[in-house]
Amino acid sequence: MNPVTFRGRRIRSGEVYEYPQAQLSPLDVDVDRMHEVFLSSTSDIVRTIATRFNLGGILAEEVCLKSGINKTKAAIQADSDEIAALCTAIKDVFSPIIEGKLKPCLIKKDVNGTPEYVDVLPFELGQYMDTEKEYVGSFNKALDEFFGKKAAETQQKQVEAVKKEPSNVLERRLYQQQSAIKKFEKDAENNSIVAEKIYEHYQDIEQLMSVLDVARSKGYSWNDIWSTLKQSRDDIPAARSIINIDPSAGLIVIDLDGRKININIRKTVPQNAETYYAKAKKLTKKRDGALRAIEDTRRSLQKKEARKSKRRKVVHKQHWYDRFRWFMSSDGFLVIGGRDADTNEELVKKYMEKRDIVFHTQTPGAPITIIKTEGKDVPDTTLKEAAQFVVSYSSVWKSGQFSGDCYWVKPEQVTKTPESGQYLNKGSFIIRGERNYYRDVAVGVAVGLKLKGETLVIGGPLSAVYQHAEHVVELIPGKFNQNDTAKKVYRIYADRLKDASFAKQIASPDKIAMMLPPGESDIKN
C-alpha cells in the first residue's frame, strides 16, 4: 500500500522482501569500537550514541546521565576515560534486560493541566526518577495501555468526524451546496474588495506599471528590472508594494493594505479592476444558482421525509422457536417441528412436556411436530392443522404426492431407548403404545405476511396462515426448487405491498425459503 525505496532495497508489491541491514547492537559496544565511531563523528556525544549505536534519543540521554559525561561535548573530543565511562553506562542501562529484572511502567506528566501518559518503558530510567509512574504487570500490557488508548482516541475522533457529515445522499448534497454558497459569497466579496483596492491605489499602480513599461522598452530583462525595483524601494513608493514578478503570465504580485493582488501588466488599471468585478459577478451568479439548487434539494428531502413517515415499520421480536419450523394454529396454539435430525432431537429432549401432543408420519422423513398445549384442551381444528403440517413438511411433499398418513401420541410414548439389538440414528425415536391416526391427509402449505402486531413472514397449513396473515400465497408440490419458489413469492409480495424495501425487510427470499416444504414446489393459481 505504501511503496518505499531505501538505499539498497525496495519495499513494494511484487518485490522479494529484504530485511534492513543489521545495525550495531549497543550490548556489543566496547571501548575500541566506540573510540573508532567517535573519531569519525561530526556531532556531539548524545547524538552520536543515539544514531550510531542504535539507541534512540531517550536511552542515549540515559547513558549520558549515568556516565556523568557532558552530552553536548563533541564526540571527537571525548577522551579514553569518558569513552570507558559511557561503555559502562550502556551496560548499566541494559542490565535489567540482561538480568531479566524488568519493571514495566507508564510515565505520567501534566500536559496543559491534564495528566497524560508521555512514555512507556520496560524498566525504570533515572531521567524519570521524580516523574509520576504507573507500574504494569507486563511490558505488553503497558504498550497496550499507552498505544491502544491513543489509537482508540484517534479512532473515536475519526468516527465523530464521520458522524458530523450527513450520511444521507440528499443531506450530503445539501451540506455540500451550503458549503459552496459560503465559498461563493466569500470569494465574491474578496474580489469586490480587491477591485476597490485597485481604484484606491490607482496612482501608485499606474506609476509602477509605467516604470516597468519604460524599463522593458529600454531592453532590460525582467531579472534586471526586479533587481532594480528592489534597490529603488525608497525612490519609487509603488515599488515597496511589489512582492513578485511572473513574466510568463504577465503578472506582478503587489501588497495593497495587507492583501496580495495579481496585476496584469498588459492591461490598464481600470481593466484590472474590472477583471475582479467580473469575477465577483460570476461568483454571485453561481451563488444564486446554488440557492435555487438548495431549494430543489430541500423539496426532495421533504418528499423523502414524507414518504419515510408513511413507510411501515418492521416490528419483530426474537422467539426461542424461530430456529424450528412453527406455526400458530387457528385456535392460537403454538405448533413446532424440527428442521433436521439435530432439531428433532433438541425438540424432544429440551422442549417436549408431558402435557403436549406429538405428531409424526407413518413413513420416515418427517419433522417431529409438537403442539404446545399449556395444559389446555386442544380443539379438533388444531389437531387437523398439525396433521396437515407434519404431512406437508415430510417426504410426502418431496416425493410429489398430494396426501399421506400421520398419527399423534402422548409424550410418554416417545422414547430414545430401542429394542434389544436395535440402533437409533440421531433424530429418530421409538413410539410405543397406541397411535391416533389421520388417514389420507391432503398436503397444503401457505406462506403469508403477518402485518398486525409483529411484521414477519409465516408459513404452515392453509387455514392457520389465512387466520393470522395477509397477502397469502398457496403452494403445491411442483417443479421449482426452494430458492426459485421463494423468489417468485417475494416478487408477488413486493407487487402487492408496492414497497419493495418493506417487503424485503420482512420477507426476503431467504426468509421465505425457510417457510417452504422440502423438495420442489409451485404457486397455486
What size, in residues, is the chain? Answer: 525
54: left (phi over 0), alpha (psi -120 to 50) or beta: left
Q: 195, 274 in Cβ contact below 8 A?
A: yes
For the cut 60, the answer to whether the pLDDT of residue 164 exceeds it is: no
Q: pTM (2 decimals)?
A: 0.45
Q: What is the mean pLDDT of the chain?
A: 87
The residues near 53 (Cβ < 8 Å, ≥ 6 apart) are 24, 26, 29, 34, 37, 60, 90
pLDDT for position 359:
96
pLDDT for position 17:
87
Q: Among 482, 507, 476, 514, which residue's Cα sits nearest to residue 492? A: 507
Give 416's pLDDT tier (boundaries 50, 70, 90).
confident
In order of start, what are the domains of the chain with their CATH numbers? Answer: 21-99 (1.10.8.50), 105-152 (no CATH), 173-277 (no CATH), 325-523 (no CATH)
For the cut 80, the answer to whether the pLDDT of residue 34 exceeds it is: yes
Query: Sign of the CA dihedral 459, 465, 471, 476?
Result: positive
For the cut 80, the answer to whether the pLDDT of residue 452 exceeds it is: yes
For the cut 80, the answer to whether the pLDDT of residue 310 exceeds it is: no
Task: Give the pLDDT confidence of 456-490 residue by residue, as tens digits.
Answer: 999 999 999 999 998 999 999 999 999 999 999 99
Task: Give the pLDDT confidence of 417-433 residue by residue, as tens digits.
Answer: 877 777 777 778 889 99
Q: Could you tell me which residue, 21 or 347, shows the higher pLDDT? A: 347
For the cut 90, the answer to whether the pLDDT of residue 57 exceeds it is: no
pLDDT for position 517:
93
Q: Could you tell me which residue, 25 or 370, shows the higher pLDDT? A: 370
Query: Sign of the CA dihedral 486, 489, 490, 491?
Result: positive
Task: Give the pLDDT confidence of 183-194 residue by residue, as tens digits.
Answer: 999 999 999 999
For the cut 80, the answer to whether the pLDDT of residue 37 exceeds it is: yes
Query: Sign of the CA dihedral 28, 29, 32, 33?
Result: positive
End-to-end CA distance of the chain: 58
Distance CA 25, CA 46 (A): 16
Task: Give the pLDDT confidence of 361-405 residue by residue, as tens digits.
Answer: 988 888 999 999 999 999 999 999 999 999 999 999 989 899 999
